[in-house]
Amino acid sequence: MGRSRKKGQNITGWLVLDKPLGMTSTQALGKVRWLLDAKKAGHAGTLDPLASGVLPLAFGEATKTIPFMMDAHKTYAFTIQWGASTTTLDAEGAVTARSDHRPSAEEIKVVLPGFVGQIEQTPPAFSAIKVDGKRAYDLARAGEEVVLKSRTVRIDALHLVDVPDADHACFEVQCGKGTYVRSLMRDIAAALGCEGHVTVLRRTRVGPFEVDAAIRLDEVIQAAEEQAALDFLQPLDAALGHLARIEINAEQASDLRMGRAIVCAPMGNADTAQPLVYAHCATEPIALGTLEGEIFKPSRVFNP
């Protein structure tokens, strides 16, 4: 008889990790899940191994809110090194082309407005997008030609932050779902008539989660040794603050958890045009759903 697999604890909440360099998002999730001894976990939005910063980790019932974090707007700080393009569009890849041109701050500022708003962007070949059931980066690493379709993404703001020297420029971008910073870098360099690659990439915000409040992995390890790692958990509804909220009673909560629609009080000035709202009872989120007049229909229920 084989050994039984340890199931872990039924814990619920969010831990906002400041992911270190050199670790995949899956590796970071696995490490923290082990430290917390959590039964169920997931992460909201992949960061490359060469990227650091905000990686929201969901545990237990909070995993049901991951799609809302995946869709949330994000902010990145990144640095471009001019003079060489690489296969991966970052410092990990082999150099594919070189150029002598080093754009000035004034040149850079002229082209940036062209990358704000709804833009077309082709993802990098070294990405997690699936092609015929296989990850694009696996095909690219195997030497196969990877041709990905362009997609529409939204850039809300793009700023030149600093030009520390002729070879580097630092930026901040606020963007929507599906935006690849490496592709944005590639296209900025092309608009400037030069080559470049990303040397620093740091995610500073995902939805309501800011990097200043993120927890370093070494802090989680230290807290786990002191049996205090669960103190870092934020509540499930930390990811739902952008949604309208309705207050319900215990009887209504019971109905929702059985999948039944409920009649609730009017929401007053709340925005009932939102596609989703969430029901809350006392200190506990109960369900996500849609509100049609005074009828709340649950689409995703949270178990106690």
**Do 26 and 83 fall into the same domain?**
no
**Do 173 and 284 fall into the same domain?**
no
Catalytic annotation, pick one of 18, 37, 48, 138: 48
Q: How confident is the model at residue 261 (pLDDT cuts 50, 70, 90)?
A: very high
To the question of pTM greater than 0.85 for the whole model, the response is yes
Query: Is pLDDT above 70 for 166?
Result: yes
Last residue of a domain, one of 184, 204, 224: 204
Q: How far is CA 98 from CA 143, 186, 266, in A?
A: 21, 13, 63
Q: What pLDDT shows up at residue 131? A: 59
**Do 56 and 137 fall into the same domain?**
no
Last residue of a domain, one of 196, 220, 236: 236
> 150 in a domain, yes or no?
yes
> 228 in a domain, yes or no?
yes
Over residues 8-26, the mean pLDDT reads 94
**Do 56 and 81 fall into the same domain?**
no
Query: Is pLDDT above 50 for 1?
Result: no
> 221 in a domain, yes or no?
yes
Q: What pLDDT shows up at residue 133? A: 64
Q: What pLDDT shows up at residue 76? A: 98
CATH number of domain containing 260: 2.30.130.10
- 146 token code pair: 């990877």
Q: 169 vs 67, which has greater pLDDT?
A: 169
**Do 91 and 186 fall into the same domain?**
yes
Mean pLDDT of the chain: 89
> 2 in a domain, yes or no?
no
Query: Is pLDDT above 60 for 270?
Result: no
> 7 in a domain, yes or no?
no
**Do 83 and 129 fall into the same domain?**
yes
Query: Is pLDDT above 80 for 122?
Result: yes
Say which residues have a Cβ less than 8 Å from residue 133's Cβ, sequence separation at least 6: none
CATH number of domain containing 120: 3.30.2350.10
Q: How confident is the model at residue 244 (pLDDT cuts 50, 70, 90)?
A: confident
Q: What pLDDT shows up at residue 132? A: 57
Q: What pLDDT shows up at residue 2? A: 44
**Do 197 and 216 fall into the same domain?**
no
Three-state DSSP class for residue 217:
helix
> 1 in a domain, yes or no?
no
**Do 97 and 195 fall into the same domain?**
yes
**Do 273 and 215 fall into the same domain?**
no
Q: How confident is the model at residue 140 (pLDDT cuts 50, 70, 90)?
A: low
For 144-153, write each residue's pLDDT tens digit: 666 667 889 9
**Do 215 and 267 fall into the same domain?**
no
Closest CA to 180 of 211, 210, 215, 148: 148
Over residues 223-245, the mean pLDDT reads 92
Q: What pLDDT shows up at residue 190? A: 96
Q: 128 vs 221, which has greater pLDDT?
A: 221
Q: How many domains is the chain partitioned into structurally? A: 3
> 5 in a domain, yes or no?
no
Is 48 designated active site? Answer: yes
Domain that holds residue 79: 74-204
> 214 in a domain, yes or no?
yes
**Do 93 and 197 fall into the same domain?**
yes
